[in-house]
Amino acid sequence: MREFMYYITHAFYSATGWNEDNTYKELNATARELIDFPLPRGLRLTLSSLATPHFATSYQLGSVGIVDGSISYLHSTLPLTGIAAQSDRIPLPALLRSYRQLHDLGSGDRRQWYWGTEEPPAETAAISSTDGIPDRHGSSLFYGRLYLPRSLLEGLVIRRLTPDLQVQLSAVSERSLRNGGTLLGLAQYDRGKYGVEGLASTDGGLLGIRGLYNFGGDTSSTAATLPTNSSSSENNGGGQLGERERIYGRFSAGGEVYYGTLNKSGGMSLGARFATLPAHRGTPLTATLTINPLMGNINATYAVLARDYCSLATRMEFNVYSYESEWAVGMELWSNRRPAGFLLGADPNSQSDPDPGPPRRKERSFQAKLEWRLDDEESESEAPRREAKPAAARSGKEYRGVLKARLDQNLRIGLLWEGRVKSLIFSLGTGVDLRKLGEPFRSLGLEVQYSS
Amino acid sequence: MAFNFNWSPLTADAEFYKRARDLLTTALNKSPKPPIIVDDIIVTEFNLGSVPPDLEILEIGDLAEDRFRGIFKMCYSGDAFLTLKTRVQANPLNTYLSAKPGFTSPQPLAAASSLTIPLQITLSEIKLSAFIILVFSKQKGLTIVFRNDPLESLKVSSTFDSIQFVRDYLQRTIEGKLRDLMMDELPAIIHRLSLQLWCPDQMVKEDEEPKEVDEPGVNPLATPPLDAVDAHGHLLDPAAISELTLDGGPEAQLLFSQKTLRRLSDLTRSQVTSSLDTAAPGDVLFRAWAGQSDKDTNSPPLSTPNLARSSSYTSAHTYTFSDSGSQDHGSVPSRPSLVHLNSATAGLSLGSGRHSKAGRKKKTRVVNLRRKAETELGSEQGDETSETTSTGIPMSEPLMPHPILEVPEEDLVSGKVRFSRSPELSEQSRRPSMRGERPKAPDAQIPAAGINDSVTALQPPIQLSEKHRPQEVSKESGTIDSKADWRRSRPMSDTSSVILEQAWIMKMAGEIARRVYDEKMRNPQFWDDQDDTPPPAYEAR
């Protein structure tokens, strides 16, 4: 489960029109979230509130043997009016969904991405319509969090300087750290077609730069105007997209270099990604390949949104120097039943036909395939348009829980079951080690979140 | 007297190596490892070699059938070797990130991917040169303490020998690690091993100990010290000790009234909680006041026992290591852990620091000082009985009451001189046993000064009526002891100690008279001079 403050921070990104995904850091975010989702440990309660459009608080109380907690405050100079902050209204995919659809690269008029394939709530329409307010690019976000027994203080400042430039400054203060704390400065430059980030950390004098370049797909000149058109509706594309029924996606390639000026050490990596765009007709998929030439590490991931309620991901890692290899698979299964539905063995498919989701289209009719032509555009484009709206609206209500699972080469299983019970969002997770069947449960945790 | 050290049977025993490997492996993996080491450190090969170390006996403090205490000088340059195996993280960015908070992490995508490399390290050509304090007793097992850094040099060869930078780094790191191991872990390993060998029942007790720690009963008298020493540093007969505890134990508990105990616990608690309301138990002599006579006793650099005592005071659990094996009632709170050994050495310097501070009190009137020195003599010695044994520092000579001799001498010295002397004092006292001449130095002084001391010290008790004086002494020592440390075990009680004191005094008087006689026979004119003028503090009162 994403934390409330994370959700608010990303709401800020979307309110300012910042494309958070257009950075090398998020290259394999989909597979990472599908496989490396964090398992809760112990009991954790979170009470959060977006008290005013400018101000949010969150209190957390946890118990893993000892009781600890944290207090966090967030202030945004930009009013976050369009945010569904109540825990009974937050769209679950925004908090829980791992598969990330690519979104449009337009640098000026970006839409909220994090709603995923769900239809954004009605209020966001107001945001997108008021995108043109002038002080949007000078807006800032301040965030502070104090962990209580440990006296660890976190601070974050995000400031949007220009439409293309954003600066982040994050700091941690704790007694046990060297010099009492660390500071990380991050300057992000996003031009849509490419995004560059420079960073500097006080810890070891680390300097780094990373960049991502997009090509193919919607970045090519012919398709450049399409996303903005489609974005006004439910990613439903015009008829021109019919030409791209085979595969329609975007290539991204990038790299990162780090150098610690004080400890005289460094690191680098290169990466590439192919991901289908929301307008793609077939199954949405994301494939990435990252290489660390210094350490000889090759990492390949493949994630697919097999159905709207089911995502799968695999990851393979291989080191050409040490011949060590790793694999892991992850899965995410959404349920539109009550949270107990999984235990009762309900098949979400049998209950109600899953809505195909906006990116998915009706298959070409068999007749049309035979004749090497497309279906009639009128009938084709009207049907999903009618269908998608109630489907999306229904799915927003109906998805009540998600089961995430992963398995790695050490036969360790992570299970996470998240959902909503009345107005509480819960997350129940456990780690199972199949190698040690005597005591298989390595961890068990429950997180409960309430926000108003 | 001869010692026969047998090196080869130890090394020939295959079982021994296996056990030692296991113990070393657990010891190496016990402390949290740096992030660069990603796997357990496994000791694959361990051989003590065929060349035995050179042992030189510097002094033997205690020798009996079931116990031994002595200082050795050990030199070793043999062919022992040790091979370790582990895996290290080769990506510096990975180790860099692992110790940092995630919030400010730069979150590299793949630049921090791990590359683990198996590493094999062989340590050979180990050269050691150390002063070892060895305490052995059948009940407590074998305790070894290094008084200095034993490691002189060693050769580290590893998988990365071809890379100069890595080799230097490994050499440096491993030398540091090994020093820690030698000073901290090795004595623990040897102690545990010896317990396994000689008294396996004690091992069980150690495991049970933590349960008993919480016992509310803090009974300072329940556990007598094993190597009890009497007021003058002579070892008590073990039979006498057992008799003492058997007879005096239950009664003695009654002698500390509940009220006093409660007050004292209030007092100690008030220091913990920094409460402003401190109870003031009456008839109590505080250490701070006693510091003055400490200082006097410490002025000759030889008096290690007193230094050791103050060290055990500043870190009260220093001696639990040597004592814990012998606990019958489990009132020692901590399991033998070698961290305390560090604090023992630190305590030495702490103790000397305290003396320099105490020197400030020097400005009080002379008469006052003498009085105090005399009255506290008994308590000081009472403390020494328990504490010198507990710290396990061997005594090269019977503890002669130096203060008496020193008082007149110190009176002549101004306070400023005292201050200037204290640094070198601490310097001298910090490594007393390191000096080659240490065993010789007492020889030079003791016949002259030491015996003179004992005579003057013990003359007043003899002159006093036998009933009055011992009671006074034991009362003082009792209060001081219980105040100073609850866990300190002391076999003294009022009733038993009165008898005992009388017996001691009689015995000591006889002993001293005999010595004095001997000395006089040897050196008559010296004694004639000294006896004429007894120190002014001990004139009849």
Q: What's the 3-state SS for B460-523?
A: HHHHCCCCHHHHHHHHHHHHHHHHHCCCCCCCCCHHHHHHHHHHHHHHHHHHHHHHHHHHHHHC
Q: Is the pLDDT of residue A30 over 80?
A: yes
Nearest to B111 among A170, A182, A267 (CB): A267
Integer-rounded Cα radius of gyration of chain A:
22
More confident residue, B314 or B30: B30
- Residue found by looking up tokens 């909220």 in the block: A112
User: In terms of CA atoms, which chain A residue is nearest residue B118?
Assistant: A322
Residues A21 and A14: beta-carbon distance below 8 Å: no
pLDDT at res. B117: 87
Q: Are A221 and A205 in contact (CB under 8 A)?
A: no
Q: CA nearest A427: which of A118, A92, A50?
A: A92
Q: Is B49 left (phi over 0), alpha (psi -120 to 50) or beta?
A: left
| Residue A213 pLDDT > 80 | yes
| Packing angle of the helix pair B287-298, B415-430 (nearest 10 deg) | 80
Q: Which residue of B has its CA nearest to A184?
A: B104
B455, pLDDT greater than 50: no
Average pLDDT, chain B: 62
Pick the closest to residue B467 from B511, B513, B509, B505 (CA basis): B505
- Average pLDDT of the residues in B417-432: 44
Write out the H or E segment, with its range, that includes residue B14: helix B14-30
pLDDT at A255: 95
Burial of B540 from C-beta contacts in 10 A (0-12 / 13-18 / 19+): exposed
Which pLDDT value is given to residue A290?
Answer: 95
Give the minimum alpha-carbon distance from B215 to chain A in angstroms, rounded to a whole number. Answer: 24
Q: Distance between CA B58 and CA B45 in Å, rounded?
A: 33
The residue-averaged pLDDT of A357-381 equals: 54
Report the range out of A282-296, B379-393, B397-411 with the highest average pLDDT: A282-296
Q: So what's the pLDDT on residue B495?
A: 55
Q: Contact A324/B116, CB-based, under 8 Å?
A: yes
- From A178's Cα to the closest Cα of chain B, the distance in A is 10
CB B206 within 8 A of CB B324: yes
The secondary structure element, H or E, covering residue B71 is strand B67-77
Beta strands at A42-52 and A441-451: parallel, antiparallel or unpaired:
parallel
Identity of the residue in A25, A256, A295 whose CB atom sits nearest the CB atom of B115: A295
With CB atoms and an 8 Å threshold, state whether A27 touches B100: no
CB contact under 8 A, A267 and B108: yes
CA distance B303 to chain A (A): 41
Do A118 and A101 form a contact (C-beta atoms < 8 A)? no
Mean pLDDT of A189-203: 91
Is the predicted pLDDT of residue B6 greater than 90, yes or no? Answer: no
C-alpha distances out from residue B349 to A338, A406, B130, Å = 70, 57, 20
Q: Which residue has the tokens 């994630």?
A: A303
**Residue A267 is nearest to which of B93, B101, B104, comparing CB atoms?**
B93
Report the residue of chain A nearest B92, measured CA to CA.
Answer: A265
Crossing angle between the packed helical segments B287-298 and B304-314, to the nearest 10 degrees: 150
**Which of A364 and A82 is assigned the larger pLDDT?**
A82
Q: How far is B100 from chain A (nearest CA, A)?
A: 8
A170/chain B closest Cα distance in angstroms: 6
Chain B, nearest residue to A321 by Cα: B115
Distance of CA A344 to the CA centre of its chain: 30
Which tokens is B418 given? 């005292």
Which of B87, B93, B97, B165 has the most A C-beta neighbours within 10 Å, making it the best mutation to test the interface with A?
A: B93
Q: What is the DSSP string of A136-190?
A: GGG-EEEEEEEETTTTEEEEEEEEEEETTEEEEEEEEE-TTSGGGEEEEEEEEEE
Candidate ranges A89-98, A204-213, B169-178; pick with highest mean pLDDT:
A204-213
Higher pLDDT among residues A352 and B69, named by residue = B69
How far A448 CA lies from chain B's nearest CA (Å)?
A: 22
Residue A319's pLDDT band (boundaries 50, 70, 90)?
A: very high
What is the pLDDT, as a whole number, of residue B232?
56
Q: Which residues contact A452 (CB under 8 A, 6 or more apart)?
A: A48, A49, A50, A85, A86, A87
**Secondary structure class of A267 (helix, strand, coil):** strand
Q: Which residues of B touch A266 (CB under 8 A)?
A: 92-93
- Pairwise CA distance, residues A229 & A223, whole Å: 10
φ/ψ of residue A244, rounded to 5: -105, 35
Residue type, A38: P
- Kindly report which listed range (A55-69, A196-210, A257-271, B396-410) carries the lowest average pLDDT score: B396-410
Check: CB of residue B397 under 8 Å from CB of residue B233: yes
Distance of alpha carbon A90 from alpha carbon A73, whole angstroms: 19
Residue A447, min C-alpha distance to chain B (Å): 20
Q: Whole-angstrom Cα distance, residue B46 to residue B119?
A: 17
**Is A256 in Cβ contact with B108 (below 8 Å)?**
yes
Q: What is the pLDDT of residue B150?
A: 82
Instruction: Work out the angle at residue A9's Cα, subtended by the Cα atoms of residues A328 and A96, and round it to the nearest 5 degrees.
Output: 40
Here the tokens at position A47 are 């009470």
Query: How many whole angstroms separate alpha carbon A80 and alpha carbon A4?
Result: 14
What's the CA gap between B145 and B142, in Å, rounded? 10
Whole-angstrom distance, CA of residue A106 vs CA of residue A224: 9
pLDDT value of residue B433:
43
pLDDT at B190 (0 to 100): 82
- The yes-or-no verdict on residue A375 having pLDDT over 80 is no
Residue A200 pLDDT exceeds 90: yes
Burial class (CB in 10 A: 0-12, 13-18, 19+), B230: buried
A147, A183, A188, A292, best to mutate vs chain B, most B CBs in 10 Å: A292
Q: pLDDT tens digits, residue range B457-479? A: 444 444 444 444 444 444 444 44
Cβ neighbors of A16 (< 8 A, separation 6 or more) are A78, A136, A137, A139, A160
The minimum CA-CA distance between A373 and chain B, rounded to whole Å, is: 43
Which residue on chain A is closest to B97 by alpha carbon? A203
The arithmetic mean of pLDDT across residues A69-85, rounded, is 89
Which is more confidently placed, B146 or A298?
Answer: A298
Q: What whole-number distance in Å separates Cα of residue B173 and Cα of residue B178?
A: 8
pLDDT in tens, A127-181: 444 444 445 678 999 999 999 888 899 999 999 998 889 999 999 998 888 888 8
Interface contact flag, B106 A174, Cβ < 8 Å: no
Collapsed DSSP state (helix, strand, coil) of residue B7: coil
Residue % of chain B over a pLDDT of 70? 41
| Residues of chain B contacting A182 with CB distance shorter than 8 Å | 100-101, 104
Using alpha carbons, select from A67, A66, A122, A117 the residue that is nearest to residue A92. Answer: A117
B438 vs B59: CA distance, rounded Å = 9
Distance CA(B366)–CA(A279), nearest Å, equals 101
Mutate to test the interface with A, among B89, B94, B97, B104 (most CBs of A within 10 A): B104
Contact flag B109-A203 (C-beta cutoff 8 Å): no
Q: Which two tokens stand for residue B221?
A: 């008298």
Mean pLDDT of chain A: 79
Strand A66-76 relative to strand A181-190, pairing:
unpaired
Which residue in the set A28, A290, A322 is minimally distant from B116, CB to CB? Answer: A322
pLDDT at A252 over 60: yes
Query: Are residues A268 and B113, on separate chains, in Cβ contact within 8 Å?
Result: no
- Mean pLDDT of all residues in A380-389: 44
